[in-house]
Structure 1
Amino acid sequence: MTDALNALRPFLVGKGYDALVVPRADEHLGEYLPAHNERLRWLTGFTGSAGVAVVLADRAALFVDGRYTVQVRRQVDSAAFSLHHLIDEPPVAWLSAQLAPGARVACDPRLHSLAWFEATERQLSEAGITLVADADNLIDAAWADRPTPVVAPALLLDTRYTGEDSPTRRRRIGATLARAGADAALVFAPDSVSWLLNVRGEDVPRTPVLQAWGMLHGSGELDLVCHPGRLPEGFHEHVGEGVAVYAEADAGQVLGACAGKTVLADPVTANAWTQRALREAGATLTAGDDPALLPKACKNAAELAGARDAHRRDGLAVVRFLAWLDGEVAAGRLHDEARLADQLLAFRREQPLFRQPSFDTISAAGANAAMCHYNHRDNRPASLEADSVYLVDSGGQYLDGTTDITRTVAIGDPGDAVRRLFTRVLKGHIALDTAVFPPGTTGTHLDALARQFLWQAGCDYDHGTGHGVGAFLSVHEGPQRIARAWNDTALAPGMIVSNEPGYYRDDAFGMRCENLVEVRALDNPAFEKPMLGFAALTLAPFDLRLVVPELLTAEERGWLDRYHGRVRDTLAPELDAATAAWLAEATRPLGS
């Protein structure tokens, strides 16, 4: 991407900066970005969901985490960018070693959290380097053919899906602010704003959020900062009284009106620009979680019922796809990854309430599956390979829920070594699914359950085991997650999380077993104390051709038979005869 670097560097020099930090983020700090905010992709060619570039006058570097170590080597010109591990060699440490004291490093404070900005400012200052906040984004100035932002009217979501109207929801969350010692809260994440207002947007691919942020007051009133073109007819009647709308150019009015007030703001999830502006306006910031974050994660009865219905319909689409795929392979038609992804999407589109995929389908044949966030659109799609495995990670956004499922499929005979590894991954999936744990347990406490059988073979995977999932919202929703990295949010009833251990061998193959599960309180009179557990939402068979039965215990075989029996009993009545017959074979009991 030498052309992009050459276009950018004159602006860097013109401002008198020695370096520019370019994250994969936009003004809302979301995971999925509209095309006009894909600044890191324009600069580097890297299409992953996380990364940071640093541009100096005579060199540049790109930092990605372990999910993208293979992908980044394929996509990025290593002559233009040196490639580094985001965790093992952080960008700030690299910058401190590259620059001399007195250097000036620029960043757009709208694209970074306050926590990142303040920590980076401290670290660079120790090396005598100054961090400069410049909201006149240099990438935007250099990007000559930058796409025009999409502004589409939002969807007003009925209470039969949300279970609660917006005024009630806002008053309930607003009432919690006094306990936090705050007059108001900066609700910065678009999914939190969308949840509070019972609206969904169409401006961001794969994530149906309204691109907006707001100031929530203790009364439940909300000052909403949003492009007016995103608010459809009937918006004010839908959200009820107490919502004042401000154009993005008038955001300063919302922040300035907080002078003398104590404002709750999350330094990790809200950007530096808003919080620095609040301080400059005379507000007192108190650090704390977004007040909508945890209530949004703990789904109510209507949201859980919707999730179960959405997963049933999604299961029908996935089973139809898996049956079709087996038929095509048996006929010798080894399609390419794009054709497979398109066919799965076609089956989903036939389901009621379907809106769009919940993320770009990971349709990965053979060695491409070793890249756990592979996207066939980034290269020429590969075709299925005989005697290998095919990994498909996909999901749907339905009006009543969000789905995410990964299945690994045998294409011919992938060999005993692959089957044994798959069985270890499946054993980890079962161990996590069957976990029983007391309230107060976090995902970090449970993560090793999913890894233990891979560890016993000297193997592991370099991604988290589980992420939260929204209700027709983000497929990656906090604050809960299951991972080795510490997470202090306890798992609680109503949360939806993924269970997705995997294994990846570079340039060879990859595999993953993923279901979404609901956290539930367990009703067992034999328990001395309250306990929680998981209930699977996802309904689709695991490929028994990849299972080595003798590696499973009797309890694990029993779990697989019960799960497959539930899949069969739930879905078969709604399938055509041929697909139901395929499902009966795909879910045949292993027995004890």
Structure 2
Amino acid sequence: MTHAQRLASVRHDLQQQQLDAFIVPHDDEHLGEYIPPYAERLDWLTGFTGSAGAAVVLARKAAVFVDGRYTVQVRHQCDASLFEYRHLIEQPLLDYVLSELNTGARVGFDPRLHSRSWFDAAQQKLAARGLQLVPVKHNPVDRHWHNRPEPTINPALLLSQEYSGQHSEAKRNRIAEQLAAGNIDAQLLTQAEPINWLLNIRGRDIPCLPAVLSFALLHKDGSVQLFAEPAKFEGLDLTAHCGHNVTLAPFNALEQALTELGNKGARVQLDPATANAWSSLVLEQAGAKIVFADDPCMLPKACKNPVEVQGSRAAHLRDGVAVCRFLAWLDRRLEQPAPEREDEGTLADKLLALRAEHADFVEPSFSTISALGPNAAMCHYHHDNGTPRKLGQDAIYLVDSGGQYLDGTTDITRTVAVGEPDDEMRKLFTLVLRGHIDLASARFPAGTGGLQLDALARMPLWQQGYNFDHGTGHGVGHYLSVHEGPQRISPKGSTVPLTTGMIVSNEPGYYRENAFGIRCENLEVVQPADTSGDIPVFEFENLTWVPFDRRLIDSNWLDARHIEWLNDYHATVWEKISPQLEGEDLTWLEQATRPL
């Protein structure tokens, strides 16, 4: 089916259900950032493959909504004759619905694919203008997606305490005590990452996210009902690994378990931002008393214990070796005849192959962004969405990549010269790098959130009249999602205080549409700072050890302190990485880490 035929089939379904609109989010039942192939409904309908977005289908028109990361990509992927392009933040989806529909209109949505908080807010907003929000039992996309992929059944992994640093029982009891103190009978957990962290399990259900897709009920006595595909745990002793009070049941048993809690009048806590509306409506209809609160696993999961921090250090060292070998190979390739035989795809494949040489490497932590010239202006570009661009026609190359290792998750971006960058490119690269250094050097009092630190990375760009339309930093899991909360560094980011053990990215950038893109990214872990003052202060410990390209640096745009930081950083890269390189790779690193 063409996208026009798919859109027509959904419209026909809406007519049968007497709906005037239908909302298609980029989500699955767990509402995590990454979704399995069988849940890629937005892609099926529109052709948009980005990680965030939504669509609205009306009787005679439709629109696709994306944020600033994807404003270029959406124009490349979605047919303008079928879909209007809207900015997810500046032109909110519900405002669009209200502007297009009249009083009495019925707006359909799949309650399994929207959070409870979204449901409450949307229902109130639409009702105020006389529109009805209607939950559908049968998603119209699913009814017409005839070649929809089946869910995969990959074996689960029981993560040993050697990597996790804490037994599941200790984690469960710690959180259960909080539930009991709050007179909560059970906590509904709906996202894969906190459940996998809580039980020290991992999986391969979604590419790049080493988690078992699941739901769970954590009771105030510390027991857990896990709802997942039982076949994934065949041959594994879950009881021996997690403790005797963890039971496993299939997904379809969740509704009955929620209903039983409701029948008992239980007080059930859930996070309205992450739990889907369906689960909370089932609980309410059965008679449960719902308590809305943040997922209690999120903060302890974000604050890595010493074993997890040490594992992350080790993972980044071996990852740094792989990336340095890649950049050394790339420079040698540029000096050889016909370098244009390499394109964005072969470059990404080479980097993956170098990472995969290490036994602890499991898979990439996300799809590598391997982007030459104008393609790098699309923050989340992927070469498979078109014809990969070849070397030999651009001045700079951006590669954003990462690895999942048994002891940690990595994420690094380097922008490097592959041609002759002009003075403006070098100026802009240096301003981005200066912002990176300013944030990396920050010390901040206890209680400081990422929202308060974001301007440090943007100030050098702001002062010259530039900016970038994405967050400066995201949280990173421990052999889990490369994007995690609650910590975040962003203009509209989290006020959750940054504290010991939290891992965040530091990735300012600059993007010029149809020209080039620049980003400088390291991962950093929050640690207590040693000061002589009278208040507790934190700082960032760097985890990523790969040189920044000296050929792109215009030192006229750096102060002495920035040059000192960069020279110290490169000296440490040499100290940590050089013992693991040899030959031409070692020679390359020696040149790449020379002081400015």
* Structure 1 and Structure 2 fold alike (TM over 0.5): yes
Per the alignment, residue 158 of structure 2 pairs with 156
Displacement of 1:152 in angstroms is 1.3
List per-residue Cα deviations over 1:43-98 (Å, max 9, x = no partner). Answer: 00000011110111221111111111100011100100111111111111111111
SS at structure 2 position matched to 1:176: helix
Conservation of the 8 A alpha-carbon contact between 2:188 and 2:218: yes
Per the alignment, residue 123 of structure 1 pairs with 125
**TM-score with structure 1 setting the length:** 0.98
From 449, 460, 465, the equivalent of 2:456 is: 449
SS at structure 1 position matched to 2:445: coil
Displacement of 1:550 in angstroms is 2.1
Per the alignment, residue 564 of structure 1 pairs with 570
Rounded to whole Å, the distance in 2 between the matches of 1:537 and 1:254 is 43
Per the alignment, residue 246 of structure 1 pairs with 249
Conservation of the 8 A alpha-carbon contact between 1:167 and 1:241: no
Conservation of the 8 A alpha-carbon contact between 2:371 and 2:399: yes
Per the alignment, residue 586 of structure 1 pairs with 592
Rounded to whole Å, the distance in 2 between the matches of 1:125 and 1:475 is 38
Rounded to whole Å, the distance in 1 between the matches of 2:571 and 2:516 is 29
**Which aligned pairs between 1:506-525 and structure 2 lie closer than 5 A?**
506-524=513-531
State the aligned residue count.
589
Rounded to whole Å, the distance in 2 between the matches of 1:161 and 1:315 is 20
Per the alignment, residue 548 of structure 1 pairs with 554
Displacement of 1:479 in angstroms is 0.5
Q: Supply the AA of the counterpart residue of 1:426.
A: L
Per the alignment, residue 14 of structure 1 pairs with 16
Rounded to whole Å, the distance in 2 between the matches of 1:528 and 1:243 is 45
**Which aligned pairs between 1:379-528 and structure 2 lie closer than 5 A?**
379-524=386-531, 526-528=532-534
From 329, 341, 366, the equivalent of 1:324 is: 329
Rounded to whole Å, the distance in 1 between the matches of 2:166 and 2:494 is 29
Displacement of 1:167 in angstroms is 1.5
SS at structure 1 position matched to 2:18: coil
Displacement of 1:387 in angstroms is 4.9
From 6, 9, 13, the equivalent of 1:4 is: 6
SS at structure 2 position matched to 1:290: coil
Rounded to whole Å, the distance in 2 between the matches of 1:128 and 1:48 is 33
Displacement of 1:486 in angstroms is 4.0
Per the alignment, residue 277 of structure 1 pairs with 282
Stretch moving more, 320-329 or 236-245: 236-245
Q: Supply the AA of the counterpart residue of 2:564.
A: G
Rounded to whole Å, the distance in 2 between the matches of 1:120 and 1:63 is 16
**Which aligned pairs between 1:284-433 and structure 2 lie closer than 5 A?**
284-332=289-337, 333-334=339-340, 335-433=342-440
SS at structure 2 position matched to 1:360: coil
**TM-score with structure 2 setting the length:** 0.97
| Residue 185 (structure 2) pairs with residue 200 (structure 1) | no
Per the alignment, residue 261 of structure 1 pairs with 266
What's the C-alpha RMSD, in Å, of the aligned pairs? 1.1
- Gap runs ≥5 in structure 2: none
Rounded to whole Å, the distance in 2 between the matches of 1:548 and 1:367 is 22
The alignment-based identity, stated in percent, is 51
SS at structure 2 position matched to 1:319: helix
- Gap runs ≥5 in structure 1: none
SS at structure 2 position matched to 1:175: helix
Q: 1:536 to 1:88 in 2, by over 3 A?
A: same
Rounded to whole Å, the distance in 1 between the matches of 2:200 and 2:102 is 51
Rounded to whole Å, the distance in 2 between the matches of 1:316 and 1:443 is 30
SS at structure 1 position matched to 2:443: coil
Rounded to whole Å, the distance in 2 between the matches of 1:349 and 1:387 is 28
Per the alignment, residue 86 of structure 2 pairs with 84
Conservation of the 8 A alpha-carbon contact between 2:239 and 2:245: no
SS at structure 2 position matched to 1:475: coil
Q: Supply the AA of the counterpart residue of 1:150.
A: T
Rounded to whole Å, the distance in 2 between the matches of 1:410 and 1:563 is 20
Conservation of the 8 A alpha-carbon contact between 1:62 and 1:83: yes
Conservation of the 8 A alpha-carbon contact between 1:187 and 1:291: no
SS at structure 2 position matched to 1:258: helix
- The structure 1 segments of at least 4 consecutive aligned residues displaced by more than 6 Å after TM superposition are none
**Which aligned pairs between 1:39-118 and structure 2 lie closer than 5 A?**
39-118=41-120
SS at structure 1 position matched to 2:178: coil
Conservation of the 8 A alpha-carbon contact between 1:222 and 1:243: yes
